Structure 1
């Protein structure tokens, strides 16, 4: 298992290099100039040129990338041009808020999604199954930012149950978690239902029925357990997706986090902060994929054998 984990980690190195290049190039191709946001009105071209040179923006793009990457691998993400603070400090300040929101949303979508998908699979082709899948289909098509606005209008403005924005109390997490988690519920439930229906047609399940094992014991003890492989894959991919999907939701609910920091920095064209935020989101996706592969290898020895 250790050898499998080491090989998967080594495979992430070229992926990380490619992602760093893409992030750096995309950020610098965005129209706009961060210097325009900090230079005083009436400044001379010489003063602007001095600021450009101060932040290394006068160098060729490849030289800027090499400089940024060499510092980044040492843990230095540079300094924010607008806020004039280390990018690492800004990320460390906002990351816990995003992790709390993403973790709770992942737990919510996992528990509710697997439960709904399992019940729909057990009662397949019934009115309950069709009702659950209809609700799930509708949930998967609703954009998160639109759902967030509906949540605010109904539960915060009309009913007054939860705060509209902020992160001062635990209750402020409820609406953002529901907004992000409901989209995941639809995906997890669909995958769980399809996987369970596929496993239910296997020979060993027919044998258990022939032996007189109770239906619930077969469905929950055997079918659901074997159907977890594709569900684990989806959940591992959703770790990074949830943090990325929280960008719009955090901004709508005016919550601190990587999402709000990223959007604010994009509007200001603050290159170092945008690069740092995108890099954190990319690392979350890679670590989520790695975790999913490790869990799958633990569940299925054939995967470990395939890596030897």
Structure 2
């Protein structure tokens, strides 16, 4: 298991380098310049060139990227050009809000998604199964920003049960968590149902039925345990996608977090902040995938032996 973990960690290095290059190029090739937010009206081209040189933006892109990469290797995310604060401080200030929202949404989608998938699989092709799958289809195709607006209109504006925006109390988390979690719940439920139906047709399950064990006990104790392997992989991917989905949801609900920080930095073309935020989201996806693979390998020795 240790050698498998080391190999998976080493595989993240080239992936990280490729992702960092893509992020850097996308940000610098987008029209716009952070210097436009610093120069005053009527400034001369010479003054603008001086500010550009001060922040090293006049250097070739390759040199700028190598400087940024060397700073990352030292744990330095740089300094925001427009906000004029260390990027690490901005991340540390906003990341807890995104982690709280993403963690609760992931917990919500995992628990209810697995429960819905189990109920649908145990009532295969019945009325309950069709009802659950219809809800799953509806939840998986609904855009999160549109669902967020609907929840605000119904539960915040009309019923006044929850606040419209902000992050001042736990009530402000309910609607954002539902907005992110419902889409993830649909995916987890669908994968759980399919995995349980496939596992239910295996020989060891037929043998358990032949021994006279109760069907409910077989489903919950044996079939579900084996069906959780693909679910774990999906949940590993969801760790990163939940944080990424929080970007639009935080904007809809006017919540502090990486999403609001990223959108503000994009509007100002603040390169260091945008690069750091996108890199954090990409690393969340990579680490989530790694965690899912490690858990799957721990649960199933065949995964480890296939890569030895």
TM class by shorter chain equals over 0.9
Q: Distance in 2 between matches of 1:71 and 1:104?
A: 33
Q: Distance in 2 between matches of 1:127 and 1:217?
A: 22
Aligned to 1:301: 301
Aligned to 1:154: 154
Aligned to 2:255: 255
Deviations 1:233-290 (A, max 9, x none): 1000000000001100001101010011001111111110000000000110111011
TM value normalised by structure 2: 0.99
Aligned to 1:203: 203
Compute the displacement of 1:72 (Å). 1.1
Deviations 1:1-42 (A, max 9, x none): 111111110110000011110100011011111111121111
Q: Distance in 2 between matches of 1:215 and 1:174?
A: 37
Aligned to 1:132: 132
Aligned to 2:242: 242
Compute the displacement of 1:120 (Å). 0.2
Q: Distance in 1 between matches of 2:148 and 2:55?
A: 38
Aligned to 1:49: 49
Aligned to 1:19: 19
Compute the displacement of 1:65 (Å). 0.3
Aligned to 1:225: 225
Deviations 1:33-58 (A, max 9, x none): 11111211111111101110011110
Q: Distance in 1 between matches of 2:17 and 2:140?
A: 33
Matched, 1:106 2:77: no
Q: Distance in 1 between matches of 2:140 and 2:302?
A: 33
Compute the displacement of 1:306 (Å). 2.0
Aligned to 2:279: 279
Compute the displacement of 1:297 (Å). 0.7
Q: Distance in 2 between matches of 1:195 and 1:272?
A: 43
Q: Distance in 2 between matches of 1:77 and 1:55?
A: 14
Compute the displacement of 1:167 (Å). 0.6
TM value normalised by structure 1: 0.99
Aligned to 2:267: 267
Compute the displacement of 1:178 (Å). 0.4
- Structure 1 residues 109-124: aligned runs within 5 Å: 109-124=109-124
Q: Distance in 2 between matches of 1:52 and 1:177?
A: 42
Deviations 1:145-201 (A, max 9, x none): 000100110111111111111111111111000000000011000000000000011
Aligned length: 308
Aligned to 1:143: 143
Give 3-state SS (helix, strand or coil) of 1:15's partner. Answer: helix
Aligned to 2:68: 68
Aligned to 2:188: 188
Compute the displacement of 1:83 (Å). 0.6
Q: Distance in 1 between matches of 2:64 and 2:256?
A: 29
Q: Distance in 2 between matches of 1:159 and 1:18?
A: 48
List structure 1 segments (4+ residues) > 6 angstroms apart after TM superposition.
none
Compute the displacement of 1:307 (Å). 2.3
Matched, 1:7 2:12: no
Q: Distance in 2 between matches of 1:200 and 1:256?
A: 45
Give 3-state SS (helix, strand or coil) of 1:99's partner. Answer: helix
Give 3-state SS (helix, strand or coil) of 1:80's partner. Answer: coil
**Backbone CA RMSD of aligned residues:** 0.6
